[in-house]
């Protein structure tokens, strides 16, 4: 027997072979069929929810950081034993003015001598106590108003889409989409019947009684309050085109991976600061480096990960990173002038109240230690391409790289200006040395990750990374170029949203 | 369609899984059927593709057959087929190594060419041809063994 005959023999044998599917298979199919649309909708909405959550988190983070950005430098003065003691039973207003013998700046540090306790209390007055202090810090709030617009789409018969209700005897309503030509055909056919009421009903965007059409029309348009005929043929219009898309047959190149992950991570960071000056007083760079020190930085983020191939993935999310530095200045022979205003209330008789205001000044001399914590904050949108290799069931690795788009950058703290005075960082409209970017643009991210599988849904990962920012945090017209290269170790968890049985389709 | 699934699956349970998955796909994508060709053919193609996916999930290997099997040229007499039942043939096909089974089913039963099979399975044409030849020899030998057992 030749091969061809053998093949035909096998084919003919098996063509006749029939094995009926057991009943439980059909029941499983029915359950799967009923469950799936809900699940599909759920997953689709979950993606939308995730995107919404990312934007929400970004907004909240931004508002919180805006509030935090108004931090004040901590200052301490030594010398004459300062305290903010306020005597009770007296309304005392204390104003403190600090005079630095070299800078003469004003701060909100208050010093109240013990002499305030010597305030005279002349009668059994029922006075209260209050304090007000000058505060040079100016806070501002940004109010954001959002307006929502709702758009209602109204379908009518003259529109491009209409719903025509077709009712069967069991009362089930099938909705079929119709285009304008279809409606025109309805009109034409109605015109052929000579039923002007029906034509006007169609023109007037109302429905047509089914029973009145049953004798002449193979279709009907539903009306409220009509009695359906026992049988209605399906609506057939010649100009209704079949969908152009091909049947969604499964791919013939094999099952495709369709994993979708959510990754959340925290990272202790180490930053390499590059500080260069082009036109600054000699010694300025040295003074900056001496007064500013590095403190622990960190970053955190959430990202969505979708595979685009068997081993390639794309990641996108929100990343928040914060670089912490400390500015520490020591100023000797600092003089601090303190103004104390004491208000006393004297009630001499019912209805006869006397307010007495005493003003006094005192000056302190000492060494001033000024410590400011600077914070450089970045909110970024990383778009990372990843290539995975290794055994996914045990430990696997990934090489990641991609651009990082800065959404916003904001800073808090102080830096030295060219006269070595502390100058508050401002991203709004600073000049000279105080000229900072509110958006540092695009950076480059590269990392190597190691994943350890915990169970079917969860992996732990450790990802040493490096981010290089092309732009400095200072503006281009600033004579200081302050740039950061951020390195760190992202430690996080990866959660696979796709159930194990559905990861290959 | 369950028969189609049985030819690709290892056991009945897997075949039922394939059938279920296929029919759910058919149901979901019913609106995309273009009325070009028979509906059964369209469904059959979905079933075959789903079965292939299941096979490829297992990362099937196109193994070389053992020399003692390949060298045995099945001197098949027509009489050897006379008593071969459909269930026996199905069982023998199911017992084929994965690579042989897939190629044999696709070419002999479904009628795909070697080029199409190569594209479907991401293999070379020559691999598909050699797998088919080896599958055929393997199957013929198994039929002969079965007939000898019956004769004894």
Read off the CATH number of the domain in which B136 is found: 1.10.10.10
Same domain, B76 and B121: yes
Would the CB atoms of B90 and A21 count as touching at under 8 Å?
no
Task: Report the C-alpha gap between B46 and B19 in whole angstroms.
Answer: 10
CATH number at residue B11: 1.10.1740.10
In this prediction, residue A40 carries a pLDDT of: 45
**Chain A neighbors of B119, CB-CB under 8 A:** 252-253
Would the CB atoms of A505 and B32 count as touching at under 8 Å?
no
In this prediction, residue A466 carries a pLDDT of: 95
In this prediction, residue A318 carries a pLDDT of: 95
The CB-side HSE value for A393 (13 A sphere, CA atoms) comes to 1
In this prediction, residue A120 carries a pLDDT of: 38
In angstroms, the separation between the Cα of residue A16 and the nearest Cα of chain B is 8
Helix axis angle for B125-151 and B86-94, nearest 10°, is 130
Would the CB atoms of A504 and B16 count as touching at under 8 Å?
no
Q: Report the chain B residue with the minimal C-alpha distance to residue A248.
A: B29
Mean pLDDT per 10-residue interval, chain A, length 505 residues = 77 72 74 57 58 74 60 40 38 44 39 38 37 37 38 38 40 41 54 47 42 44 52 53 50 69 94 82 82 87 92 94 89 83 87 88 85 91 94 90 93 83 72 75 94 90 94 82 91 89 72
Task: Report the C-alpha gap between A97 and A109 in whole angstroms.
Answer: 8
Q: Report the chain A residue with the minimal C-alpha distance to residue B133.
A: A3
Closest by Cβ to A6, choosing from B93, B121, B140: B140
Would the CB atoms of A21 and B121 count as touching at under 8 Å?
no
Would the CB atoms of B120 and A32 count as touching at under 8 Å?
no
Task: Report the C-alpha gap between A480 and A418 in whole angstroms.
Answer: 11
In this prediction, residue A300 carries a pLDDT of: 96
Q: Which domain holds residue B1?
A: 1-59
In angstroms, the separation between the Cα of residue A235 and the nearest Cα of chain B is 16
Helix (H, G, I), strand (E, B) or coil at A306: strand
* Residue A71 and residue A373 in contact, taking contact as beta carbons nearer than 8 Å: yes
Closest by Cβ to B53, choosing from A3, A33, A504: A504
Instruction: Report the Cα A468 to chain-centroid distance in Å.
Output: 22
Task: Report the C-alpha gap between B13 and A25 in whole angstroms.
Answer: 10
Same domain, B4 and B54: yes
In this prediction, residue B119 carries a pLDDT of: 79
Helix (H, G, I), strand (E, B) or coil at A480: strand
Would the CB atoms of A7 and B84 count as touching at under 8 Å?
no
Same domain, B16 and B46: yes
**Phi-psi group of B23: left, alpha or beta (phi > 0 → left; psi -120 to 50 → alpha; rest → beta):** alpha
Going by C-alpha positions, the residue among A409, A204, A202, A421 that lies closest to residue A322 is A409
Ordered DSSP codes for A426-484: -SSS--TT--B-S---EEEEEEEEEEEE-SSSEEEEEEEEEEEESS-SB-TTSSEEEEE
In angstroms, the separation between the Cα of residue A251 and the nearest Cα of chain B is 7
Would the CB atoms of B90 and A18 count as touching at under 8 Å?
no
In angstroms, the separation between the Cα of residue A49 and the nearest Cα of chain B is 24
In this prediction, residue B142 carries a pLDDT of: 82
Ordered DSSP codes for A123-146: S------B----------------
If you search the block for the tokens 């057959």, which residue do you land on?
Answer: B65
Same domain, B23 and B80: no
Which residue, of B59, B81, B109, is where some domain finishes? Answer: B59
User: Which two tokens mark B90?
Assistant: 């199905």
Task: Report the C-alpha gap between A238 and A366 in whole angstroms.
Answer: 97
* Residue B151 and residue B123 in contact, taking contact as beta carbons nearer than 8 Å: no
Same domain, B4 and B79: no
Would the CB atoms of B20 and A32 count as touching at under 8 Å?
yes
Any bridge partners for residue A495, and if so which?
Answer: A262, A458
Which residue, of B11, B30, B59, is where some domain finishes? Answer: B59
Tell me the domains of chain A and their CATH numbers.
65-70+255-332+367-502 (2.40.160.20), 169-231 (no CATH)
In this prediction, residue A379 carries a pLDDT of: 94
Tell me how far CA of residue A118 lies from CA of A113, A344, A353, A362, B48, in angstroms.
10, 12, 21, 15, 99
Same domain, B11 and B53: yes
First to last CA, chain B: 36
Residue contacts between A and B (CB atoms, under 8 Å)? 113
Question: Chain B contact for A456, CB < 8 A?
Answer: no
Q: Report the chain B residue with the minimal C-alpha distance to residue A4.
A: B108
Q: Report the chain B residue with the minimal C-alpha distance to residue A2.
A: B76
Ordered DSSP codes for A342-407: EEEEEEEETTEEEEEEEEEEEEEEEEEEEEEEEEEEEEEEEEEEEEEEE-TTSEEEEEEEEEEEEE
Closest by Cβ to A3, choosing from B54, B78, B136: B136
In angstroms, the separation between the Cα of residue B69 and the nearest Cα of chain A is 17
Same domain, B10 and B43: yes
First to last CA, chain A: 41
In this prediction, residue A494 carries a pLDDT of: 94
Q: Number of helices (H) and strands (E), helices first, in chain B?
A: 9, 0
CB atoms within 10 A of CB A53: 12
**Residue of B1, B11, B23, B136 to mutate, interface with A, max A Cβ within 10 Å:** B23
List all residues 6 or more positions away from B100 whose beta carbon is below 8 Å from its beta carbon: B65, B131, B132, B134, B135, B138
Would the CB atoms of B49 and A252 count as touching at under 8 Å?
yes
Helix (H, G, I), strand (E, B) or coil at A425: coil
Same domain, B90 and B151: yes
**Residue of A14, A393, A504 to mutate, interface with B, max B Cβ within 10 Å:** A14
Question: Chain B contact for A215, CB < 8 A?
Answer: no
Same domain, B79 and B152: yes
Same domain, B31 and B70: no
pLDDT < 70 positions in chain B: 57-82, 149-152
Which burial class, exposed, middle or buried, applies to B133 when counting CB atoms under 10 A from its CB (0-12, 13-18, 19+)?
middle
User: What is the number of domains present in chain B?
Assistant: 2
Same domain, B36 and B18: yes
Tell me how far CA of residue A402 lies from CA of A421, A468, B124, in angstroms.
40, 11, 35
Q: Report the chain B residue with the minimal C-alpha distance to residue A250.
A: B49
In our burial notation (b when 16+ CB lie closer than 10 A, e otherwise), range A197-207 reads ebbebbeeeeb
**Chain A neighbors of B78, CB-CB under 8 A:** 1
Entry field: residues in chain B: 152
Going by C-alpha positions, the residue among A456, A496, A25, A246 that lies closest to residue B21 is A25
**Residue of B17, B19, B20 to mutate, interface with A, max A Cβ within 10 Å:** B20
Same domain, B23 and B42: yes
Closest by Cβ to B90, choosing from A17, A248, A251: A17
Interface list for A 23-42 with B (CB within 8 A): 25, 28-29, 32-33, 36
In this prediction, residue A427 carries a pLDDT of: 67
Backbone torsions φ then ψ of A461, nearest 5 degrees: -140, 150
Any bridge partners for residue A366, and if so which?
Answer: A334
Which residue, of B59, B84, B109, is where some domain finishes? Answer: B59
Helix (H, G, I), strand (E, B) or coil at A421: coil
């Amino acid at each position: 027997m030749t091969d061809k005959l053998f093949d035909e023999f096998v084919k003919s044998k098996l063509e006749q072979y029939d094995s009926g599917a057991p009943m439980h298979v059909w029941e499983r199919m029915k359950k799967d069929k009923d469950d799936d649309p809900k699940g599909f909708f759920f997953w689709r909405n979950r993606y939308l929810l995730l995107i919404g959550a990312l934007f929400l988190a970004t907004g909240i983070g931004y508002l919180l950081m805006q509030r935090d950005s108004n931090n004040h430098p901590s200052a301490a003065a030594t010398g004459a034993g300062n305290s903010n003691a306020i005597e009770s039973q007296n309304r005392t207003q204390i104003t403190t003015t600090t005079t630095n013998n070299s800078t003469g700046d004003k701060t909100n540090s208050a010093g109240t001598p013990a002499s305030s306790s010597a305030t005279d209390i002349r009668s059994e007055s029922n006075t209260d106590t209050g304090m007000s202090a000058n505060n040079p810090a100016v806070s501002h709030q940004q109010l954001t108003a959002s307006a929502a617009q709702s758009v209602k789409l109204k379908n009518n018969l003259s529109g491009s889409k209409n719903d025509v209700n077709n009712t069967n005897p069991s009362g089930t309503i099938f909705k079929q989409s119709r285009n304008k030509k279809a409606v025109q055909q309805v009109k034409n056919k109605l015109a052929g019947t000579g039923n002007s009421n029906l034509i006007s009903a169609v023109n007037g965007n109302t429905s047509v009684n089914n029973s009145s059409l049953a004798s002449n029309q193979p279709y009907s348009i539903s009306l409220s309050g009509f009695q359906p005929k026992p049988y209605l043929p399906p609506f057939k219009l010649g100009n209704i085109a079949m969908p152009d898309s091909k049947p969604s047959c499964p791919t013939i190149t094999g099952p495709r991976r369709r994993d979708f992950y959510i990754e959340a991570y925290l990272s202790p960071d180490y930053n390499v600061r590059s500080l260069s000056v082009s036109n600054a007083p000699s010694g300025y760079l040295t003074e900056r480096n001496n007064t500013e020190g590095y403190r622990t930085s960190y970053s955190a983020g959430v990202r969505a990960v979708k595979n685009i191939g068997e081993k390639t993935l794309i990641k996108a999310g929100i990343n928040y990173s914060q670089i912490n530095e400390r500015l520490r200045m020591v100023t000797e022979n600092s003089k601090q002038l303190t103004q104390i205003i004491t208000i006393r209330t004297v009630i001499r008789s019912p209805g006869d109240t006397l307010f007495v205001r005493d003003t006094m000044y005192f000056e302190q001399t000492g060494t001033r230690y000024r410590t400011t914590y600077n914070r450089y904050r970045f909110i970024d949108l990383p778009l990372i391409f990843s290539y995975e290799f290794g055994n996914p069931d045990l430990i696997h690795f990934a090489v990641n790289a991609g651009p990082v788009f800065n959404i916003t950058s904001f800073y808090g703290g102080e830096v030295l200006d060219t006269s070595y005075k502390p100058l508050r960082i401002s991203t709004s409209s600073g000049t000279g040395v105080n000229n900072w970017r509110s958006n540092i643009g695009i950076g480059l991210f590269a990392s190597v990750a190691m994943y350890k599988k915990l169970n079917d849904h969860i992996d732990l990962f450790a990802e040493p990374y490096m981010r290089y920012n092309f732009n400095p945090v200072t503006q281009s017209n600033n004579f200081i170029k302050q740039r950061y290269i951020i390195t760190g170790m992202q430690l996080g968890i990866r959660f696979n949203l796709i159930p194990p049985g559905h990861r290959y389709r | 369609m369950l028969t189609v699934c049985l030819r690709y699956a290892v056991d009945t349970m897997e075949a039922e899984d394939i059938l279920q998955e296929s029919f759910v796909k058919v149901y979901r994508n019913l609106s995309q059927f273009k009325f070009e060709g028979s509906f059964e053919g369209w469904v059959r193609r979905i079933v075959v593709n789903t079965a292939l996916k299941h096979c490829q999930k297992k990362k099937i290997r196109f193994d070389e057959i053992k020399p003692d099997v390949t060298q045995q040229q099945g001197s098949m007499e027509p009489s050897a087929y006379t008593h071969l039942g459909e269930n026996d043939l199905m069982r023998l096909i199911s017992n084929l190594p994965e690579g042989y089974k897939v190629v044999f089913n696709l070419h002999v039963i479904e009628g795909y060419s070697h080029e199409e099979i190569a594209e479907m399975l991401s293999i070379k044409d020559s691999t598909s041809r050699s797998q088919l030849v080896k599958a055929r020899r393997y199957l013929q030998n198994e039929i002969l063994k079965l007939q000898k057992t019956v004769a004894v």
